[in-house]
Every structure is written in structure tokens, then in C-alpha cells.
């Protein structure tokens, strides 16, 4: 069994009626309910407002893969816990960073860059191209898939050159971005995946969820 912890900041869901309607179980709930369909994944969830942000030493010790979503509440996120999770990744825990987690403290500490990216919230279509056919993360996917309503994320994207680039996404404004990026830090395997804005139902999209499940594996 692979023990997966789906972690979500879970603030938008509490402060916006619209977002609460899109994700009544929270973004973490939507992702976890899909991952639970995989018999070899043992899935739990945690959110920022739990004691120690739900990321205690004991919890991390029994986690093989952390799936991580954050956006607006990083100022309230403890630097001590950033350091703790960072250390756990270096000692071998996998981590899947989703969407705006690229500008979070933890991803920044791992990458050494700001993670800043161009963005536009206009509900545009995104076409996600597979650029590493045969990679475990793209198993079961066609050569591209589309997300009907997505936030545009575009280059330049302030990240280190990925060890492996798995996806490039295209948007109708002509922008592109490196939307699926693999890294290793210490013994930890890290995957960044761009799809997933909080106001659109991206975490119900079959192929987006498939990518997250593949990445956990
Ligand atoms: Zn967003």
C-alpha cells in the first residue's frame, strides 16, 4: 500500500460560497475521493487549520506521498512546519504540488526560486500536451487532453529546469507553460502539476485526477 496524504489549505472553501459549491468536500475531498478508487492507495486528508497544520511528525512518518494545494494563507503557515516537511521530503517522502502551490513556501524552499508565473483568471480552455510519452505519470492518457475552464498559467515560470518535463500546457491567448515537472531533492521525488484553480471544477476532471493518481504511484 502507498500511504497518500492529501493536504489542502482549505480557506477558499470556507470564505467563498461559490467555491464551497464547486468543492463541497473541499479540494482535498474531491482529490481524495478519486484516489480512494485505487486499491493500492491508502488515502487520508489534512488541512491547514488542524493542529500543526495536520502535518505532525507522526503523520509525516506514516506518509509516503504528500499531495499539496495552497494559495492564500501562506503567511499563516508555520516556517517550522515548512522545515519539517522539507526535511521529510529530503529523506524520501514523495510530494505532488498542485497549481498555486508553486508560490508556496515549501515548494520555494525545495526549488530555490520564487515559483512566480504569469496568470489570467478568465475560465479559458487549456490543452495539456504530453511531452514525455511512456513516463509513468502519463499512463492511460491520450497525446493531449483539454480542460474546458481553467486559469491561464504562462511562461515565464520561475522554476529550475525540471529533471523531467512531462506536460506543456497551451492557452487560447497563445501562452504556454511547463505544466508537469519532475524533480528530485535528496531522496524525495517531487512532481509539480499546474491544473487546478479553486473556482473551476478542475479536480473532477477524469484525466487531471488520473495524473495525480499516477504521480502518487
Ligand atoms: Zn488559481
The per-residue pLDDT for range 55-78, each reduced to its tens digit, is 999 999 999 999 999 999 999 999
How many Å lie between the centroid of ligand 1 and the Cα of residue 110?
21
DSSP symbol at 195: -
How many Å lie between the centroid of ligand 1 and the Cα of residue 194?
9
DSSP symbol at 49: T
Q: What is the pLDDT of residue 130?
A: 98
Per-residue pLDDT tens over the stretch 89-132: 999 999 999 999 999 999 999 999 999 999 999 999 999 999 99
How many Å lie between the centroid of ligand 1 and the Cα of residue 35?
22
How many Å lie between the centroid of ligand 1 and the Cα of residue 100?
6
How large is the average pLDDT for residues 137-165?
A: 98
How many Å lie between the centroid of ligand 1 and the Cα of residue 46?
20
How many Å lie between the centroid of ligand 1 and the Cα of residue 182?
20
C-alpha cell at 194: 499546474
Q: What's the per-residue H, E or C state across 150-168?
A: EEEEEEEECCCCCCEEEEE
How many Å lie between the centroid of ligand 1 and the Cα of residue 1?
32
Interacting residues of 174 by C-beta distance below 8 A, sequence separation 6+: none
Helix or strand or coil: residue 131? coil
How many Å lie between the centroid of ligand 1 and the Cα of residue 197?
4
Query: What distance in Å separates the CA atoms of residue 141 and residue 115, rounded to the nearest whole number?
Result: 27
Cβ-contact 2, 42 below 8 angstroms: yes
Interacting residues of 37 by C-beta distance below 8 A, sequence separation 6+: none
Per-residue pLDDT tens over the stretch 6-59: 999 999 999 999 999 999 999 999 999 999 999 999 999 999 999 999 999 999
Per-residue pLDDT tens over the stretch 165-204: 999 999 999 999 999 999 999 999 999 999 999 999 999 9
Q: What is the pLDDT of residue 144?
A: 98
Query: What distance in Å separates the CA atoms of residue 215 and residue 206, rounded to the nearest whole number?
Result: 14
Neighbours of ion ligand 1 (CB under 5 A): 100, 151, 197
Q: Which of 200, 211, 210 is nearest to 100 (CA)?
A: 200
Amino acid at each position: 500500500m502507498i500511504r497518500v496524504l492529501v493536504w489542502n489549505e482549505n480557506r477558499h472553501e470556507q470564505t467563498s460560497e461559490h467555491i464551497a459549491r464547486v468543492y463541497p468536500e473541499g479540494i482535498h475531498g474531491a482529490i481524495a475521493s478519486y484516489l480512494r478508487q485505487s486499491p493500492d492507495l491508502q488515502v487520508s486528508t489534512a488541512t491547514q487549520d488542524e493542529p500543526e497544520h495536520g502535518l505532525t511528525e507522526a503523520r509525516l512518518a506514516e506518509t509516503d506521498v504528500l499531495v499539496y494545494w495552497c494559495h492564500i494563507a501562506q503567511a499563516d503557515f508555520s516556517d517550522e512546519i515548512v522545515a519539517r516537511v522539507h526535511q521529510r521530503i529530503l529523506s524520501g517522502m514523495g510530494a505532488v504540488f498542485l497549481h498555486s502551490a508553486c508560490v508556496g513556501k515549501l515548494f520555494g524552499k525545495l526549488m530555490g526560486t520564487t515559483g512566480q508565473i504569469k496568470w489570467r483568471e478568465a475560465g479559458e480552455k487549456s490543452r495539456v500536451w504530453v511531452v514525455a510519452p511512456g513516463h509513468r505519470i502519463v499512463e492511460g492518457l491520450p497525446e493531449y487532453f483539454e480542460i474546458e475552464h481553467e486559469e491561464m498559467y504562462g511562461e515565464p515560470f520561475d522554476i529550475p529546469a525540471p529533471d523531467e518535463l512531462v506536460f506543456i500546457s497551451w492557452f487560447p491567448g497563445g501562452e504556454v507553460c511547463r505544466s508537469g515537472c519532475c524533480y528530485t531533492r535528496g531522496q524525495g521525488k517531487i512532481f509539480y502539476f499546474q491544473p487546478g484553480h479553486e473556482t473551476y471544477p478542475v479536480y473532477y476532471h477524469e484525466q487531471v485526477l488520473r495524473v495525480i493518481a499516477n504521480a502518487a504511484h
